[in-house]
Amino acid sequence: MERTNVFRKTSFYIDGQWQEPLAGKDYSVIDPAMETAFAMISLGGDVDVDRAVVAAARAFTVWQESARYERIELLERLLAIYTQRMDEMAQTISREMGAPMTLASGPQVQIARRHIRAMIDVLKDYQFDHPLRADAPNDRILHQPIGVCGLITPWNWPMNQIAQKVAAALAAGCTIVLKPSELAPLSAMLFAEMIDEAGFPAGVFNLVNGDGPGVGHAIARHPTIRMVSLTGSGRAGEAVMLAAAPTFKRVVLELGGKGANIIFGDSGIAESVRRGTLQCFNNTGQSCNAPTRMLVERSYYDEAVAVAAETARSVTVGPPSEEGGHLGPLASGRQFDIVQDYIKSGIAAGARLVAGGVGRPEGVKRGFYARPTVFADVTPDMRIAREEIFGPVLSIMSFDDEDQAVALANANDLGLANYIQTADQTRAERLARRLESGVVVLNGATRAPGSPFGGMKHSGNGREGGRWGLEEFLEVKAVSGWSS
């Protein structure tokens, strides 16, 4: 692997300071646009996790007793520092995972800011201590921090997940050991600098870089860690649950998705299809809530296929360093290979390729760039219809009526987010109740800050965001005989 101007950043943030690993192994961070190493980090081991957990456990004895106003003040300070350094964060995210600067400086960094702000607002009003109900004043409900928490975050929206988990854990009074993705670790390390600058007590937040089988496994099975929150693949979720089982810790999982976008003819086919196609391709298709299955009312199917194909052909790819609405590369060579394999499987299964296809876009010789791809005449048994691809690949199917649309949408092990496009609001709300997913979006609506996010079935358990996200980090204690 070619290395040009590689800088080393091998230390971990433990107990309020940057410390060199005890069991570190060098790992190259690859620029996905150039396929070259540009940074060197260290992958830690069990002893590094132990050191971080000891620090977090020691800090928890004090942090769990901190006053609400103290946590709010520190989170407000973190938010201010994050806001001041968003340009630096955007540059880091763009370089490590390939997001074009317009995306990196927009949604990639802004959504994290929104999560921190929303959690501060929740913390201001949340009742950690309250009577069971008016007619039972001597029964008290206490919501108390669960303890040391292991947070395992992905590479596709690095700050989105880190900010969401960290803000909730800190607001709850928990202490943290964070393992970011080794593919996109530098944004997490920058965030650790912000935590330090904000003045959080030593040991409240700790960061150990590593891979899943190493640091991830050590976090999941560590007896002192009382809760693990993972965002990642189904395979990673299964591994974490198995490793965590002997210690009976709480496990919260936000896993993959295979979102269905149900489009009725009365929604305005051209605009609905165009919007859905672009949303599928957003972040180069590397979003767990992407609407990757487009289900179209049969009498409008041909028009929808034509619009989706034309939309895909209008999408360009380009360097992450540039502004614009283009797609960047996929985040890694491994992800590029996975996406290519899925495209090949769609062709082999008999789906009709109407845009894109195998290989890099025309004229692109270097970088993990995939072609924006659309398949028509997809059937539910095909891999491209059943499995999460995590690339710019859209599968289109038709339906005859509401029942068939719902059956197709639900005929999947994954249940994270689904979408409905129709001018009939009553129908939209009726179908929303029937869809098996943790999130349903009607007619392109924007989700409000603090809205819960998470999945059903193989898309995981638990929720992030708002009071639901805070409560994942709290234990509920019922006390009888309390003074009224």
User: 387: helix, coil or strand?
Assistant: coil
Choosing from 254, 297, 388, 464, which is the catalytic residue? 254
Asked if 254 is an active-site residue, the reply is yes
Q: What is the rounded distance in angstroms from the CA atom of residue 59 to the CA atom of residue 176? A: 10
- Within a 10 A sphere around the Cβ of 119, how many other Cβ atoms? 31
SS (H, E, C) 74-101: HHHHHHHHHHHCHHHHHHHHHHHHCCCH
Question: How many angstroms separate the CA atoms of 291 and 232, rounded?
Answer: 18
The 10 Å CB-count burial string (b at 16+, else e) for 324-340 is: eebbbbbbbeebbebbb
User: Residue 301: what are its φ and ψ, rounded to 5°?
Assistant: -65, -50
Do the Cβ atoms of 232 and 435 come closer than 8 Å?
A: no
Tokens 């880190």 sit at which residue?
Answer: 162
Strands (E), 63-187: 129-133, 136-145, 148-152, 175-179
Nearest Cα residue to 382 out of 340, 349, 429? 349
**Contact indicator for 194, 85 with CB cutoff of 8 Å:** yes
Identify the three-state secondary structure at position 167. helix
The answer to whether 149 is a known catalytic residue is: no
Cβ atoms 439, 453 nearer than 8 A? yes
Q: Which residue in 291, 301, 292, 293 sits closest to 269, CA to CA?
A: 301
Cα separation, 385 vs 375, in Å, equals 10
Q: And the tokens for 332?
A: 């890694």
DSSP-derived 3-state class of residue 400? coil
Q: In which region does residue 114 sit, left (phi positive, over 0), alpha (psi from -120 to 50) or beta (all else)? A: alpha
How far, in Å, are 5, 102, 104, 282, 452 from residue 322 at the CA level? 20, 8, 10, 16, 33
Tokens of 470: 């805070």
CA distance linking residue 277 with residue 257, whole number of Å: 16
The one-letter code for the residue type at 362 is E
Of 96, 288, 297, 464, the active-site residue reads 288
State the alpha helices, DSSP H only, in 214-367.
217-221, 234-244, 269-281, 301-314, 333-349
Catalytic positions, written as ranges: 254, 288
